Amino acid sequence: MLPGAVIGWDMSAALALGDALGVPPLAMAELLPVIEAVMVTKLNEEMAANATRDVRS
């Protein structure tokens, strides 16, 4: 765990969600790493921007 940052998703939970939504496991295995990388980057950017705003307040 890294305080104040997102480093990844719980892939078991993500795969279970995909299964519940009817997404084929092969598609999930192919798409999840790409989606995860983008989401982790964007979440960390948003948290950093919010931290900067909080310090200025």
- Asked whether residue 10 is assigned to any structural domain, the reply reads no
Total number of domains in the chain: 1
DSSP secondary structure, 23-41, as one string: --HHHHHHHHHHHHHHHHH
Domain that holds residue 35: 25-57
Work out the pLDDT band at 16, boundaries 50, 70, 90: very high
- Asked whether residue 51 is assigned to any structural domain, the reply reads yes
- Asked whether residue 16 is assigned to any structural domain, the reply reads no
- Asked whether residue 35 is assigned to any structural domain, the reply reads yes
- Asked whether residue 33 is assigned to any structural domain, the reply reads yes
- Asked whether residue 9 is assigned to any structural domain, the reply reads no
- Asked whether residue 17 is assigned to any structural domain, the reply reads no
- Asked whether residue 3 is assigned to any structural domain, the reply reads no
For residues 57 and 52, what is the distance between their CA atoms, to the nearest angstrom? 9
Q: What is the pLDDT of residues 21-36, one digit of tens each?
A: 999 999 999 999 999 8
Query: Model-level pTM?
Result: 0.64
Judged against a pLDDT cut of 80, whether residue 50 lies above it is answered with yes
